[in-house]
Structure 1
Amino acid sequence: MARTRLVALATTVALTALTGCGAADMTRQTSPYADAEGSRTVTLSVQSWVGAQANVAVAQYLLEHELGYRVDTVQIDEVPAWDALSQGRVDAILEDWGHPDQEKRYIDDKGTIERGGDLGVTGHIGWFVPTYFAAKHPDVTDWKNLNKYADAFRTAESGGKGQLMDGSPSYVTNDKALVDNLGLDYQVVFAGSEAAQITQIKQFAAEKKPFLTYWYKPQWLFEKVPMTEVKLPAYMEGCDADPEKVACAYPHTPLQKFLNGRFAKGGGDAAAFLNKFRWTTDMQNDVALMIAEQKLSPQEAAARWVKDNESTWRAWLPS
């Protein structure tokens, strides 16, 4: 939800409908429309968590229905997406959680990628417990007291320790280092994906069981399962520079857009539109909720949002 040294968040919710190719690894695939100079086609990288799917769904709908472009979407994991963007295999990434190493390589050194501006949404990853548990045990919200509750959070998968539930093992996270460096009696257990993690959280909540999980904002699930953040040692610039020595909280990250360099210069109305695309956390959550909880297809969710929010999206269109 890597976002360098942040947790990359994954789900398969509605992915088939959005990408047309299921949850297959498309790291080396490309779109026939990518980097098609002079044509009214756009290829968007779609990350596998539902908030990112919401961005792409609305952008795709408006590009097709208001600007007359043909849009393709390609699912690529976060870090490989930068390589694909640099090579022109995709034209834009609409939600990045912070990859300064990739920015230096492709923007500063190679000049093959350009910044597309703020998405308008600030992301934050943290450790969370259900609010119903925090209300009964308020001291659990301080990491120094987590060992006191390790038995309460123990599961069959956590090997006699408390369970800290993460998403997919294929993504970068600080959590194992945090557990080690903070001396916590916990085992990181991967749910496998955002969708699997949501299912597990809902199951715990239905039974009013305690759980400790990394989670992130923005995310629609907070509306269904209220959760309270555990305070980790305060984040300070550079405290996560060495992945093996991390002992601090995750930062708050203004989410960014990035465009292929050639597309940024020659992408016409599409590039201008994507640069202007900027909405709020609540707006993203509205669309994500329709996709993940109400089971609308991304296209249906985008159409509904566009119908109700013309005053917002009109400002994104090229003048």
Structure 2
Amino acid sequence: MFSRTKILFSAVMAVAAIAAATPAQAGVPESKDPIKLAVNEWTGQHLSTYIYGALLEGMGYNVDYVTAGAVPQYAAIATGNLTANPENWDNNIGDIYPKAVASGDIVLAGKLGLQTREGWIYPPYMEEKCPGLPDWKALLKCADAFGNAETFPNGRVIAYPADWGTRTTDFVKANKMPFVSVPGGSEGAMIAELKSAVAAKEPILMMFWAPHWIFAEMEFNWVEMPAYEDGCDEDPKVGPNPKAVHDCGFAQANVNKVAWKGMQAKWPAAYKLFEAYTLTNADQNAMMVEVDNKGRDVKEVAKEWVAANKAKWQPWVDAAK
């Protein structure tokens, strides 16, 4: 096993290694203006962003990391106040994103490479208290098993944080489910609530996503929801309730890299690197354990990944030349 000192040294040397790999790139950086990368609310996105940022820094670019909500970020990307986001989940996007893509103000630069899932999760012991799970219809008959003092006799489902959209609330309302949808806090707060409930074998139902390291540490099952169909959010005839919209299960995400339309012209090599850049679930899961489970600094972990994966990123850098 490498010592902590050796690991830290590798992280420090990562940017130097990238710089050494690109000595012949005349004119890079094409502009000294900073490339502004969006930092959203979850660890996986942080890692995707900081790895790409470390690669840019190694090529000589100035990089700013800007905290931005998953939905509010699109107005900033469309106007160039943010330059790019390497991990954009396209099923929780609000109204601005599709319009900005259609107008060309936001450009899609390819898929990041993650295989995703979103939906409601629960610990397996809840199946004893709610026979019929994982079928979502079982929740209509056993909502009280998921309730607490504030919601009983209705059940409680923890939704995403408020600025991630209202899909859980919409689904509950559309299907007249006897549940109260409660917005989650931060990712860390949601994980803490999952851990606390499982440790005490208390009821919990939560909107969540994969990839995520929590599935390597704890066992959860996914609620089987009605399949998403095109038009479900606009046409009441689509989905299980003919009198409501938003009554289908959740559309599953593509994870795309998105950029301001002017990025390619202003920083062409950085944009080529952006197009080539990919990560896998395995890449992210291993790093998320280090950050979320071991409490390590996300930038440090991202740079360690760069130091250990030259064989993977060197072709990306070569493609940017």
Query: In structure 2, how many angstroms separate the alpha carbons of the residues matched to 1:104 and 1:245?
Result: 19
CA spacing shift, 1:157–1:136, aligned 2, 3 Å: closer
1:107 to 72, 87, 101: 101
Residue 200 in structure 1 maps to residue 193 in structure 2: yes
CA spacing shift, 1:270–1:161, aligned 2, 3 Å: same
Q: TM-score, normalised by structure 2?
A: 0.81
CA spacing shift, 1:242–1:199, aligned 2, 3 Å: farther
Query: In structure 1, how many angstroms separate the alpha carbons of the residues matched to 2:234 and 2:212?
Result: 26
2:50 to 46, 52, 57: 57
Query: In structure 2, how many angstroms separate the alpha carbons of the residues matched to 1:234 and 1:267?
Result: 41
Q: Secondary structure of 1:248's match?
A: coil
Residue 260 in structure 1 maps to residue 290 in structure 2: no
Amino acid at match of 2:102: D
Residues 1-319 of structure 1 correspond to what in structure 2 (within 5 A)?
A: 38-39=31-32, 41-65=34-58, 67-98=59-90, 99=93, 101-109=95-103, 111-134=104-127, 139-241=132-234, 245-317=245-317, 318-319=320-321
CA spacing shift, 1:92–1:288, aligned 2, 3 Å: same
Deviations 1:168-202 (A, max 9, x none): 22331221221122232111122322221111101
Q: Is the 8 A contact 1:43 1:71 kept in 2?
A: yes
Q: Is the 8 A contact 1:120 1:254 kept in 2?
A: no
Count matched residues.
Answer: 282
Q: 1:113 deviation in Å?
A: 2.2
Query: In structure 2, how many angstroms separate the alpha carbons of the residues matched to 1:242 and 1:97?
Result: 23
Query: In structure 2, how many angstroms separate the alpha carbons of the residues matched to 1:169 and 1:79?
Result: 10
Query: In structure 1, how many angstroms separate the alpha carbons of the residues matched to 2:184 and 2:144?
Result: 19
Deviations 1:222-277 (A, max 9, x none): 12221100111111122134696211111222211111111122212211111111
Structure 2 residue aligned with 1:26: none
Contiguous gaps of at least 5 residues in structure 2:
1-28, 237-243
Q: Is the 8 A contact 2:130 2:138 kept in 1?
A: no
Deviations 1:117-146 (A, max 9, x none): 111113321011113434786622111111
Q: Secondary structure of 1:155's match?
A: coil
| Segments of 4+ moved more than 6 angstroms | none
Structure of larger gyration radius: 2
Query: In structure 1, how many angstroms separate the alpha carbons of the residues matched to 2:129 and 2:307?
Result: 43
Structure 1 residue aligned with 2:17: none
Q: 1:304 deviation in Å?
A: 2.0
Q: 1:76 deviation in Å?
A: 1.1
Query: In structure 2, how many angstroms separate the alpha carbons of the residues matched to 1:116 and 1:185?
Result: 42
Deviations 1:19-76 (A, max 9, x none): xxxxxxxxxxxxxxxxx972263210111111111101211222223x1222110011
Q: Secondary structure of 1:256's match?
A: strand
Q: Secondary structure of 1:249's match?
A: coil
CA spacing shift, 1:138–1:274, aligned 2, 3 Å: farther
